[in-house]
Amino acid sequence: MKSIDLKCINSLRVVGAEAITKAKSGHPGIVLGAAPILHTLFTRQMRINSSDEKWFDRDRFVLSAGHGSTLLYMLLHLSGFGISMDDLKNLRQKGSKTPGHPEYGHVPGVEITTGPLGQGISSAVGMAIAENHLEAIFNKPDYSVVNHYTYVMCGDGDLQEGIAMEAVSLAGHLGLGKLVVLYDSNDIQLDGEVALANTEDIKTKFESMGWDYQLVKDGTNCDDINNAIEIAKQSGKPSIIEIKTVIGYGAPNSGESSIHGKPMPEEDIKALRKNLGYDEPEFTFANDVVEYYKENVIERGIQAEEDWDMLLRSYQNLYPEEYKDLLRFISDDFELTDTDGIPTYPDGSEESTRKVMGKVLDWISSKLPNFMGGSADLTASTMVKGADGIYGEDNPRGRNIKFGVREHAMAAITNGITLHGGMRGFCAGFFVFSDYLKPAVRQAAIMNIPSLFFFSHDTVCVGEDGPTHQPIEHLTMFRAMPNVNLFRPADAREMTAALLEGIKANTYPTVITSSRQALPNLSVTSSEGVLKGAYVVKKGKSNYILLSCGSELSITLDAAKVLEEKGIDVTVVSMPSMFLFDKQSKEYKESVLPKGSKVMAIEMGATLPWYKYASYVKGIDTYGASMPIKYIFDYYGFTAEKIAEEFIENVK
Ligand SMILES: Cc1ncc(C[n+]2csc(CCOP(=O)(O)OP(=O)(O)O)c2C)c(N)n1
Ligand SMILES: [Mg+2]
C-alpha cells in the first residue's frame, strides 16, 4: 500500500466528516470506517468513465448501505462526475446535488437509489443477471463485448434484511460469478453491537448458498482488499468479502454506535485530524490526491472505454448482425410498431384476464428480445413467464426467471435488470402478496424507472383460499403511491391495451392486475379509452354515473340494465387507471365525470380511493372469507340486482 493511498483515504475521512458536520446531519461512522474499501475499489478496480457516464460496459457499483452517501459523493467528485466541492459543502441541503441518500437520475454517477437497507444488494443481483444474460447473447470467443462486474458495498444492516437473503440465495443458485459484495463488517449498527441481534456465521451461511467467501482482517489495508477482489473476480461464484473495519475510524468515539449517524462536534473533527496526522486545510483534496484519482480512475476509465471501442470495431467487422443487435439492446431500440399476431378475443367470448395477460405477454416476449422476467413460483397461476426457457447457468440465454417464493427480492431484482440497461425487467405474483414487495415498487417509482409488476387473483373472487389470499386494501396501496400506474383492466381488450401502454412507459413503473375467474369480453370497452384512464362505456340520459373497473365492470353494466328496466337511465364509466385519468385535461375529466353528476363507484376492494370521484362506494372494507366463488358475489352483494338496489337506496 502506497503512502498516497493513506493520504487519499484520510482526505476522504476528514472532508466527509466536515461535510456532515456542516450539514448538521449525516452518517460519519461508515465514511471513516469504509473509506479504504471504496478508495481501493475505485482506484484499482472500477472501470467507469465520467466523460461517458452511461458507457454500457462500465462496472456497476451499488452502495447498498445508502447512508454512506457522503463517501460515494466524494468518490464521484474525485472521479470527475460533475459533483463539485460546493456540492459537497451543500450536503443534504435543499435542492442540492448531494441529497441525504444516493438518488438515481439526480446525482451523476449514481447507478441506483439506495437507503432502504437490503434493496441495493438485491437489485445488484438483477444487474448481474442482466450482464450475464447479455454476455451469453453477444459474446464470441475472444470478443467479450459485454464483460463487466457488479460491485456492492453493504453493511451489517443490509445482511439482516430478509430481502437480501432472498436475493443472495437466488444469486448463489444462479452462480452469478461477476457479482462481488464488499461487506463493511464493523460489528456495530445503529442501536449498538451487531451481537445484540446476530449470532450467525456469515461464512457458513454464504458458502451454503453457493457463494465464495473471503475474510479481510485489516480493513485499512488496500492491498489485502484488492487481492481479495482479484480472487473474488476469478471465483466463478458470487463472492462476498467480509472486510473487518472500525466504525468511525479515527474519531474519539470510534468503534461505538454513537458515531453511526450523528455529525461530529468541531472538537471531535480536530481530534480526528490529530489522530490521522492530517493537516490539509478544510474542505480540501490536495493536488496529489486529485492527481491520483485523475490517473487511476478518470484516465484508466477513459482508456478502458477506448479499449472497448477497439474491441467493438473488430466485433462489428466480424459479426455485423450481432453488432447491430447489440446497439439496439443498448439503446432499447425496440418498439412494438404493429400488433400482427397479437392474441385477440371476440366480443362476447369469455376469458380470465390472467390468461389474456399470459398470452399477450408471450406475444410481447416474441417481439421484444430484451424482455426478461418471471413469477414467484406461481407461473401456473399468474400465467406470466419469460421466453427462451428457464434462465440459469445451463441456459444463460433464457429469459424466464424462476424467482422462487421470493417476492421482495424478485421485485428489487426486476429493478436491477431495468436499471442495468439493455434489458427490461418484469415479474409476477398473487396480488395479495404484493404486500411482500411493495418497498421495491416504491423504489422503482422514486427512481422513475419502468419496471413492470403483474399480479393475478386481484379480488376476493380468489374464493376457497380465504382471507389470507384475498386482496382488499392492495389496490388502494398502489393507487396511493405517487408515480405508479396501477391498471385494473376489465376484459381482454382493456388488458391488451394496458400491457402495451405499460411497455411504452419510461418514467414510471406499471402495476397490472388480473382476474382469476373468466370475464366476458365486452363490446363496449375501448383501447383508446384505457389510455385516458377512464372513459364512458354506456351513455345514459340522467346525471347518474356508475363508476367501476376490472371484473366488476361487466356486473356494473348488468346493474345499469336492471336500473334501466326500472326507468333509471345511468351512465357507466370504466376506470382502469386512476393514475392516467388524473393526468387528463380538465375538459376530458369533465366530459367523463361532469360536475353535478351523482356517482356511485363499484369495486371488490377497499372503498377509500373511490371517494375521490364518487359520493357513494360499493366496496369491501372487511377481510375476505373462504368459500367457492359461486357464493362470493351474493355474499358481498356484487350482483346486478343488489348493486341496483343499493344505488336506489343510497344515491338516487
Ligand atoms: C429498511 C431499513 N431499515 C432501517 C433503516 C435505518 N438505518 C439506516 S443505517 C442503520 C444501521 C445499519 O447498520 P449497519 O449496516 O451495520 O451500518 P453501520 O452502522 O455499520 O454504518 C439503520 C437501522 C434503513 N435505512 N432501512
Ligand atoms: Mg455495521
- For 137-177, write each residue's pLDDT tens digit: 999 999 999 999 999 999 999 999 999 999 999 999 999 99
Neighbour-count burial of 198, counting CB atoms closer than 10 A to its CB (0-12 exposed, 13-18 middle, 19+ buried): middle
Please give the Cα distance from 356 to 497 (Å, whole number). 11
User: Residue 652: is its pLDDT beyond 90?
Assistant: no
The percentage of the chain sitting over the pLDDT mark of 90, rounded to a whole number, equals 98
User: Residue 136: is its pLDDT beyond 90?
Assistant: yes
The mean of the pLDDT values for the chain is: 97
- For 9-46, write each residue's pLDDT tens digit: 999 999 999 999 999 999 999 999 999 999 999 999 99
User: Residue 452: is its pLDDT beyond 90?
Assistant: yes
pLDDT confidence of residue 340: 92
Query: Ligand 1 pocket, 190 CB below 6 A?
Result: yes
Three-state secondary structure readout of 380-436? HHHCCCCCCCECECCECCCCECCCCCCHHHHHHHHHHHHHHCCCEEEEEEEHHHHHH
pLDDT confidence of residue 470: 98
**Average pLDDT score over residue span 343-357:** 97
Q: Which three cell numbers stand for residue 178?
A: 461477476
407 included as an active-site residue: yes
User: Residue 220: is its pLDDT beyond 90?
Assistant: yes
pLDDT confidence of residue 335: 86
User: Residue 326: is its pLDDT beyond 90?
Assistant: yes
| Dihedral (CA of 456, 462, 464, 468) sign | positive
- Count other C-beta atoms under 10 Å from residue 299's C-beta: 13
pLDDT confidence of residue 337: 85
pTM of the full predicted structure?
A: 0.98
Active-site hit among 131, 407, 501, 552: 407
Distance 346 CA to ligand 2 centre (A): 59
pLDDT confidence of residue 201: 97
Neighbour-count burial of 313, counting CB atoms closer than 10 A to its CB (0-12 exposed, 13-18 middle, 19+ buried): exposed
pLDDT confidence of residue 604: 98
User: Residue 402: is its pLDDT beyond 90?
Assistant: yes
Best mutation site among 30, 67, 202, 259 for ligand 1 pocket (most ligand atoms within 8 Å of CB): 67
Higher pLDDT, 186 or 336: 186
pLDDT confidence of residue 497: 98
pLDDT confidence of residue 310: 98
**Average pLDDT score over residue span 441-453:** 98
- For 516-538, write each residue's pLDDT tens digit: 999 999 999 999 999 999 999 99
Query: Ligand 1 pocket, 247 CB below 6 A?
Result: yes
pLDDT confidence of residue 369: 97
Contact 27, 261 (CB under 8 A): yes
pLDDT confidence of residue 631: 97
Query: Ligand 1 pocket, 163 CB below 6 A?
Result: no
- For 527, list phi and psi in degrees, rounded to 5: -65, -40
